[in-house]
């Protein structure tokens, strides 16, 4: 849990810069923010199969806000193959995502509706391409 506390301030600073001066954001800060959110979800939400977060979509987060943070396992495309559990997002989890989705992610010019995308705007399946 210390890793989250250690990097949270840097993530929050990145979000502030993305929000106030998007043209000034360094691409490495975008990568850091995406990897921070992925790590945050894995540590703070649920240590689930990494593909749970790889296939997490923006509309799932929006729906979760309306359902007290609940994301049903049936909404994941790969549930049949990987048998994911449902996710429950706390207010703190949603706050982290509320910084990332509207301010950081658009600067990655997403080409898909996944929450976590790499620097080319594609799904995070291939970090080495970012």
Predicted confidence pLDDT, tens digits, the chain (130 residues): 687 888 999 999 999 999 999 999 999 999 999 999 988 888 888 766 566 677 788 888 888 777 777 776 666 555 555 555 677 788 888 899 999 999 999 999 998 888 888 888 888 765 544 4
Report the alpha-carbon distance of residue 113 to residue 1 in Å, rounded: 29
φ, ψ of residue 62 in degrees (nearest 5): -60, -45
pLDDT at 128: 45
- 3-state SS, one letter per residue, for 54-92: HCCEHHHHHHHHHCCCEECHHHCCCHHHHCCCCEECCHH
pLDDT at 24: 93
pLDDT at 78: 52
pLDDT at 47: 65
Report the alpha-carbon distance of residue 84 to residue 75 in Å, rounded: 10
CB neighbours (10 Å) of residue 78?
A: 13
**24-28, long-range: CB within 8 Å, 24+ apart, which pairs?**
25/107, 27/119
């Amino acid at each position: 849990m210390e890793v989250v506390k250690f990097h949270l301030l840097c993530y929050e600073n990145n979000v502030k810069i993305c929000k106030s001066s998007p043209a000034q954001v360094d691409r490495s800060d975008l990568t850091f923010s995406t990897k921070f959110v992925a790590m945050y979800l894995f540590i703070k939400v649920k240590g689930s199969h990494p593909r749970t977060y790889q296939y997490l979509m923006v509309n799932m987060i929006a729906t979760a806000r309306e359902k007290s943070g609940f994301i049903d396992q049936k909404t994941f495309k790969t549930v049949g193959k990987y048998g994911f559990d449902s996710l429950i997002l706390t207010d703190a989890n949603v706050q982290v995502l509320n910084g990332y989705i509207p301010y950081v992610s658009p600067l990655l010019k997403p080409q898909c509706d996944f929450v976590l995308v790499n620097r080319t705007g594609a799904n995070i399946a291939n970090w080495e391409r970012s």
